Chain A
Amino acid sequence: MRRALLFFLAVLLVAGLVACGGTQQAETQAPEEARPFRIAVVMPSAINDMAFSQSMYEALVKLQQEMGGPDKLEFVYSENMYVVDDAAAAIRDYASQGYDLIIAHGSQYGSSLQEIAPDFPNTSFAWGTTVDTFAEQGIDNVFAYEARSEQGGYVNGVMAAMLSQSGVIGVVGPIETGDAKLYIDGFKAGVMATNPNAQVNVNYIGSFSDVALAAEAAKTHIEAGADVLTGTAQMVVGAVGVAKDHGVLWFGTQADQSSLAPDIVVANQVYDWTVALKPMVENIQNGVRGGEAYSLTLANGGLTIQYNPQFDLPAEVKDAAEATIQGIVNGDIQIPVGGE
């Protein structure tokens, strides 16, 4: 009896698959005119990570609104693609489905993109964060984008140094590379430029996901005397919670984290990828398929410092921050980053 039941289920499954294989084929292509611009994006973490992936998702939503809704811009995404070769498979699949632009939102995907892009010469690709479009390798259909996150890091650092009473500031990071390293290097430089006697303690916890360890790292900073904290990547939400519990100030980056702790979040560096996406889309519509690198900077509005309206920021600190932004925009302030 039971065997018969199981057999029945197996048959049911197979039959179902065959049946829907049929419906799949019955689908017809949309008419060619009035076809929306189609973007596919592959992201390493979740679209609600309050960090890197969320910033891209929000940019696409915003771009869609600005371009006139789903009729003008259609986008699909694959999130949590932290397995690099799964991401490669996704990129190739999207490419073969004829998307106009495929965004590989993670510097770990560059190597795959370099391999896939030449196979789809009529499709545009983009990846970040980097400046490398592989033009040197003779590839002409890849855009690159990056966030100069050291700029907002520097501004945050200036404010942090002014707000810190103890002169000790703590930083929680994932691993010492990429966007996290840029932000933290910029932040340190900003603190030091404002208060050379300040002490910036940096803690890389070796993980992008260990929220508990990020929280404990924040506690350690507080024990070590820190009264201002910052951090980057999706696991820092744990650290924000600790800062809130201890009434210690917090500076955010990548996305606006004010909602997590309205009392203690001072300001966030927020990424607006539409600044890179818009010219990319325009270029593609004008027949340019790649070869350009875009940077989000304070100057072009790709990076903004969003002050938390619920935090009572002293006027002189805000003035200093605005002056710093001006200095970075007009080139008076150079931020040393990179290299070992």
Chain B
Amino acid sequence: MSTRWQQRGRDMLYPLAAAGLAFLMAAGVLAALGASPLQAYAALVKGAFGSRNALAETLVKATPLLLVGLGICIAFRGQVINIGGEGQMIVGALLATALGLAFPHWPGWVMIPLAMLVAMMGGAVWGGIPGVLKAYYNVNEILSTIMMNAIAVQLMNYLLRGPMIDPVQAQRASQIPQTAALAAAYRLPRWVPTRLHLGALLAVVLAVVVYFLLWRTGWGYRIRAVGHNPHAARYAGIPVKRYTVLALVLSGAFAGLAGMVQVYGVNYRMITDGSATGFTGGAGFNGIVAALLGQLHPLGTIPAAVLFGALLVGANAMQRAVQVPSALVTALNGLVVVFVVSSEYFRRRARKRRLLQQTAASAATAVAPSSPED
């Protein structure tokens, strides 16, 4: 057991070293811009972990990444690529917000779970449409999810400046495209004075749920079977098409929930700046990165989401501290993603070598070690 954890620890070194390399490269740029790289990176670490509030902000950022990432774990295990998280978040949030605003006087313990359910349904529909199109009309999900993202943004813009606009704003000349605020009773409980809300805990719990769903239930088994080898799955009598749809429906549901959590836990209303990222913070895309860095394992996605959240939060803090253009932060994030995902190769190679050594060592007893993965 302890060797396994040692090995896990050693495995973590690869992405960390890769991130370090990316930071080293960006350090050159920082220096060229006249900022001290050391001071900058100190601010980054401090901004992500340096105080109770920093840590809370990191977790707040990680929450939608984890929720979207959980959906991605399901989808990718079913061999469907869901890059529609942005749209699914938006639609989930729109429905949950509409519900909360339509019935402002219910008790919180009734509304919050209901809003979650509605958001998951909204996301499920937005993910399910590409699912159905893929399964029954051979429309590739990469295409349809990209298109569905754009459609969701325009839907949001329409609703937030039309039917769902804050009545106060409707009367003002400027008409800020935002909804009214949700009733105070509907806000997810927070760890005052930070913004860390119950949604973070919920996401962790759901990670465990998804783990059980994928590896301990028939549904999960069949989703994975379809993803692993659709022909064999069909031969085994699994309705492949239905499970393809299911994978995207579940994936969308988690993204929808992420959208709801952003409204009920962070902003308490929906606001649009005209783009998807303005609302989602890019979590629909970044959640994919988190899930893949977490080896598409729901539990592995937890630390991956936290680290990625820390990078995003810390990099913004760095921008504020040393006043470099925010564009550098974006480029740095991209560099880290590329380097970390590339480091996987070295990790795999090291693991393979280790397994070979072990196999050679234990050849006498003829017991092959089982792969720790899956």
Indicate which residue in B176, B275, B326 contacts A110 across the interface (CB closer than 8 Å).
B176
Asked whether any CB of chain B lies closer than 8 Å to the CB of A207, the reply is: yes
Chain A residues with CB below 8 A from B330, complex form: 80
Residue in chain B with minimal CB distance to A16: B38
Q: Contact at B20–A90, with CB atoms within 8 Å?
A: no
Query: What 0/1 readout, one digit per residue, does chain A (140-184) give for beta carbons within 8 Å of chain B?
Result: 000000100010000000000000000000000011111101100
Chain B residues with CB below 8 A from A323, complex form: none
Chain A residues with CB below 8 A from B317, complex form: 93
Chain A residues with CB below 8 A from B170, complex form: 339-340
Asked whether any CB of chain A lies closer than 8 Å to the CB of B7, the reply is: no
Asked whether any CB of chain B lies closer than 8 Å to the CB of A9, the reply is: yes
Asked whether any CB of chain A lies closer than 8 Å to the CB of B110, the reply is: no
Indicate which residue in A24, A83, A86 contacts B42 across the interface (CB closer than 8 Å).
A24
Instruction: List residues of B (297-347) whose CB comes within 8 Å of A's CBs.
Output: 312-313, 316-317, 319-320, 323, 325-327, 330, 343, 346
Chain B residues with CB below 8 A from A108, complex form: 176, 178, 271-273, 278
Least CB distance from B80 to A in Å reads 27
Asked whether any CB of chain A lies closer than 8 Å to the CB of B139, the reply is: no
Asked whether any CB of chain B lies closer than 8 Å to the CB of A209, the reply is: yes
Q: Contact at A208–B46, with CB atoms within 8 Å?
A: no
Which of B221-229, B249-257, B262-270, B356-364 binds A?
B262-270
Helix, strand, loop or mixed for chain A's interface? helix
**With A and B bound together, what is the CA distance between A6 and B19 in angstroms?**
11
Q: Contact at A10–B17, with CB atoms within 8 Å?
A: yes
Asked whether any CB of chain B lies closer than 8 Å to the CB of A299, the reply is: no
On whether A13 and B176 interact (CB within 8 A), knowing A7-B13, A82-B278, A177-B161, the answer reads no
Q: Contact at B17–A6, with CB atoms within 8 Å?
A: yes
Asked whether any CB of chain B lies closer than 8 Å to the CB of A12, the reply is: yes
Q: Contact at B326–A80, with CB atoms within 8 Å?
A: yes
Indicate which residue in A10, A40, A146 contacts B20 across the interface (CB closer than 8 Å).
A10
Chain A residues with CB below 8 A from B60, complex form: 85
Q: Contact at A111–B326, with CB atoms within 8 Å?
A: no
Asked whether any CB of chain B lies closer than 8 Å to the CB of A245, the reply is: no
Interface size of A as a range: 35 or more
Q: Contact at B17–A84, with CB atoms within 8 Å?
A: no
Chain A residues with CB below 8 A from B53, complex form: 92, 96
Indicate which residue in B174, B271, B277 contacts A182 across the interface (CB closer than 8 Å).
B174
**With A and B bound together, what is the CA distance between A9 and B343 in angstroms?**
13
Q: Contact at B316–A78, with CB atoms within 8 Å?
A: yes
Indicate which residue in B16, B193, B274 contacts A206 across the interface (CB closer than 8 Å).
B274
Chain A residues with CB below 8 A from B123, complex form: none
Asked whether any CB of chain B lies closer than 8 Å to the CB of A21, the reply is: yes
Interface residues of A (CB under 8 A from B): 2-3, 6-7, 9-10, 12-13, 16-17, 19-21, 23-24, 40, 44, 46, 76-86, 88-90, 92-94, 96, 106-108, 110-112, 115, 119, 129-131, 146, 150, 174-179, 181-182, 206-209, 337-340
Given contacts A6-B343, A182-B173, 14 further A-B contacts (CB under 8 A): A7-B17, A23-B39, A78-B320, A84-B279, A85-B267, A89-B316, A93-B47, A96-B53, A108-B273, A112-B267, A175-B161, A181-B175, A338-B173, A339-B170
11 A–B contact pairs at CB < 8 A?
A: A6-B343, A10-B20, A80-B326, A80-B330, A81-B326, A85-B281, A93-B317, A96-B53, A146-B174, A175-B272, A177-B161
